[in-house]
Structure 1
Amino acid sequence: MRDRKMWNVTASNYATNTFNPIRNIVENMQIVPNPEKPMIALSIGDPTVFGNLTPAEEITEAVVASIRSGKYNGYGPSTGFVEAREAVAKYCSVSDVAELEAKDIILCSGCSCSIDLCITALCCPGQNILVPRPGFPLYKTLAEGLSIKTKYYNLLPEKNWEVDLAMMESLIDEQTKAIVVNNPSNPCGSVFSKEHLTAILQVAERNKVPVIADEIYDHFVFSGEEYHPMASLTQEVPVLSCGGLTKRYLIPGWRMGWIAIYDRNGILDKQGLQSLSQRIIGTNTLVQGALPTILSKTPKSFFEDTIKQIEGNAKMCFEMITAVPGLKPIMPQGAMYMMVGIDMDKFPQFENDLQFVEKMISEESVFCLPGKCFDYPNYMRIVLTVPEKQLREACERMAAFCTRYYQEFVNGHTVDMDVDHGYLSTSDMNEDVKAVKTASFDPTALIMEAEAD
């Protein structure tokens, strides 16, 4: 027996390798709001925070009925009750292409757990996965905790955040075990076309790499857009689709997610996922009992009303921020977010987007997540689930902030915005520069027009 003289209790490699970029950045930010202005947090991807978006009554009654039945108080199968998995299989089946059965579904504790199981099942330490940039940072957190490398493929803002396909394919090597595709996107709010998804799948097929499809925002698309499940577009590529109730059904705290396994040619070893599901002995059984009713009885009008609110916010926010000097929003096509470019050259007082966001919090009490959280500098992410009145006020405050700090350069001179006096001003400006009016670039006027609409 070893004679231990001193305590030596260290964290595991898994624990020390686990790193959440958003948590790390936010927890170290200088978040000190202006005490004279109530905080408006445009940073939280939880649609329930402000109380303006609530689940349908049918959803609530379904879980109440599940509780009262007394059938779901004990442990269930690690992959979920058969009737609950059958309901998800029906929900996820793609007509004439991929009919799923209960055996093709694994219920998980939220979509994050689904993604965790997929990465863990497919990859070994030292291997790698491809993930989008900008993208949800949890992919990296989950992978690198397991000593799995992440390689970033770029999304292109000038193409509504489509994938740089050539770059994606160039990253694939013998150790690449999965391509993660998030559609609709967090943080971009983009929705890929059928043609673009097909092009991504062609990359996967050529290189014999399966796809982990993060589809938690399934069907969460704005008017004129269409959601296409990745598995509906391929007969060859194995797709592990990760979804759940979190976003579309407005119940993130209920922790109900799933993996839908689309593997027409028997390529994947499903036993890995089955085994991993036994680690936590299944997900919330009360919600499992309600799942068949939730997926079949939630009225279409509920989804339409939710999307109508968020799309209305997106349009208003886009119009108002487009008028703000130094900011360039990219209109989303779905999900709950908008990415806004920051022309840092026009704000020389700040070294990066993190400093920009921190200062906006301290002066205007508006909190957006900096692009650094998504490994994408010179941007910030805005959450669109805020009540319309608060979102409008937040946009006005952002306009005021940018107007104070924006600097243009004309004829070699630094020109500051001076909305109050109706012109661009600088201490050493010549008469020609003083003649430059804000009529062609008046953020206040354009914001007022947006309000009038």
Structure 2
Amino acid sequence: MYDRKLEKSESVSIIEDPKINVWNVEPSTSANNCRNFIREIVDNLDLQPNPEKSVIALSIGDPTVYGNLKAAEETVEAVKSALVEGLFNGYVASSGHQEAKQAVAEYLSQNDVQIDANDVILCSGCSSSLEHCITVLADGTKNQNIVIPRPGFPIYRTLAEHIGVEVRYYNLMPENNWEADLDHLESQIDEKTAAIVVNNPSNPCGSSFSEEHLRNILEIAYRYRVPVIADEIYENLVFPGEKFVSAASLNSGVPILVCGGIAKRFLVPGWRLGWIIVHDEFGVLNNVRKALNSLTQRIIGSNTLIQGALPAILKNTPQSFFDSLIGTLANNAKLAFERLQSTEGLTPFMPQGTMYMLVEIQMEKFPAFADGLEFAQKMMEEESVFCLPGECFAIPGFLRIVLTVPEDLLEEACARMMEFCKRHYKH
């Protein structure tokens, strides 16, 4: 009887009975808990640009937006070759193709770090890596918490609260190149703390921790026996004179899940290829390894075409490409810092790397604005320049500047910001 098709003249009886025809379809708790905090803030701003001025967006952390920063030819050719070969159009092991994992292990095995391919799990971008790490370590049903940096990238909070895990912040100190306030970090840890998130180099701060400071953070993690999630998506993207130190290089005894990928350094965020490195000196993460592999099976692995190209991408992309990228970002950082440093009411903080700069607004000098949100909104309205307000990163009274725009646009944006501040600054 269930295979019989209804004739057009027939109808299902349940539709005709109003007592039964009651639908109650509600979203799940985890779906309701999933929030994009940047979008919540930005979407509530009335962002109407000045129609007489073209918009300059210093808000988007995608280095490809303006077309001035492109992937290396060798990176592109690697994908072309993988596509033509036709060997990577199907499924592979959910944790990643073995040759791709080996390539990541070799790529990251430097500066006192030795990684085995079995320590590598490939993911669908670094955000997926972070999701796996937070999910595998923290459990909302056990009232656990994770400790994350402030200011910091809001995805940590999104991923934790989505699964019912409490988020606690530890402060970064602008006067100390955005180093962590170690006493404050320690005060946030308790018996329910499942992980400490360390973002180095940092978005949005542009800071790069010294070896000594990183050791101090890891010493706290070791003392309290709390594993670390190291977000190192900006690995080696530091300016001349600075040094990137991976948390996995310090032999701290702390179990560390290192998250990274090719999005930023290789200028291909849309290719969605990230990784997790399981750094486990004493074998305390054996069950976590198994659970991570289980989590990868939810989407049956990451982009196989890019996995196929990954060995060539990591081996053939020349150092000259990275040097050129860093040179561009460092020059833009210097330009923005010098221009905004001479702007009344603004205090820029010179970054040590990445693609960002934080700028403090001396709010008491701008009494027309209640907060940084109003400041950013009005600057868009008058000057068609938009920066993400610090509220997006849990640090009100700041702006985040993106340094990936063409130099002439950055120069123009800084000039407009200067005019805006001159117009509204009160002595």
Q: Which residue does the alignment assign to 2:404?
A: 385
Alignment of 1:137-156 (within 5 A): 137-156=154-173
Q: TM-score, normalised by structure 1?
A: 0.88
1:101 pairs with 101, 116, 120, which one? Answer: 116
Kindly report the root-mean-square deviation, in angstroms, between the aligned alpha carbons of the 2 structures: 1.1
8 Å contact from structure 1 (residues 63, 286) kept in 2: yes
Relative to structure 1, is the Cα distance of residues 140 and 352 closer, same or farther in structure 2, using a 3 angstrom cutoff?
same
- 1:112 is aligned to 2:108: no
Distance 2:252 2:246 in 1: 13
**In the alignment, is the contact (CA less than 8 A) between 2:66 and 2:405 conserved in 1?**
yes
Q: One-letter code of the match for 2:46?
A: Q
Q: State the match for 1:282 in structure 2.
A: 301
Flag structure 2 segments of 5+ consecutive residues without an equivalent: 1-13
Q: Which amino acid aligns with 2:302?
A: T
Q: 1:48 to 1:4 in 2, by over 3 A?
A: same
1:274-326 Cα offsets, whole Å, 9 max, x none, are: 10000000000000000001111110000000010010000010000001010
The offset of 1:4, in angstroms, is 4.8
From 373, 379, 385, the counterpart of 1:360: 379
Give the aligned partner of residue 401 of structure 1: 420
Counterpart pick for 1:218 among 228, 235, 239: 235
- Tell me by how many angstroms 1:235 deviates: 4.0
The number of equivalent residue pairs is 406
Instruction: State the shift of 1:234 in Å.
Output: 2.2
Q: For the Cα contact (< 8 Å) 2:372–2:391, is it kept in 1?
A: yes
TM-score by length of structure 2 reads: 0.94
> For 1:305 and 1:120, how far apart are their aligned partners in 2?
37
What one-letter code is carried by the residue in structure 1 that aligns with 2:130? Answer: I
Task: Verify: 1:342 aligned to 2:361, yes or no.
Answer: yes
Counterpart selection for 1:312 from 303, 306, 331 = 331
Select 1:178's aligned residue among 189, 195, 199: 195
| Structure 1 unaligned regions, length at least 5 | 409-453
Distance in 1, matches of 2:294 and 2:95, equals: 9
Q: Secondary structure at the match of 1:396?
A: helix
Cα deviation 1:241-261 (Å, max 9, x = unaligned): 000000000000000000011
- Assess if the C-alpha contact under 8 Å between 2:203 and 2:354 holds in 1: yes
Please say if residues 215 and 252 of structure 2, whose CA atoms lie closer than 8 Å, have aligned partners that are also in contact: no
In the TM superposition, what whole-angstrom CA distance separates every residue of 1:94-129 from its partner, at most 9, and x where no partner exists?
Answer: 46x542222111100000000000000011112000
Q: Tell me which of 293, 313, 335 is aligned to 1:294.
A: 313
CA contact (8 A) 2:219 2:252 kept: no
User: How far apart are the structure 1 equivalents of 2:125 and 2:263?
Assistant: 7
Whole-Å Cα distance in 1 between the matches of residues 213 and 110 of structure 2? 19
Q: How does 1:395-434 map to 2 (within 5 A)?
A: 395-408=414-427
Indicate which of 142, 147, 151 corresponds to 1:130. Answer: 147
CA distance in 1, matches of 2:327, 2:99: 32
Q: Which amino acid aligns with 1:240?
A: L
Given the alignment, which residue of 96, 99, 108 partners 1:83? 99
How far did 1:5 drift?
3.7
Query: Given that residues 222 and 252 in structure 2 are in contact (C-alpha distance below 8 angstroms), is that contact kept between their aligned partners in structure 1?
Result: no
Secondary structure of the residue aligned to 1:407 is: coil
Q: Percent identity?
A: 57
CA contact (8 A) 1:110 1:257 kept: yes
Which consecutive segments of 4 or more residues in structure 1 shift more than 3 A? 2-5
AA partner of residue 245 (structure 2) = H
| Contact 1:127-1:177 at 8 Å conserved across structures | yes
Give the Cα–Cα distance (whole angstroms) in 1 for the partners of residues 248 and 147 of structure 2. Answer: 18
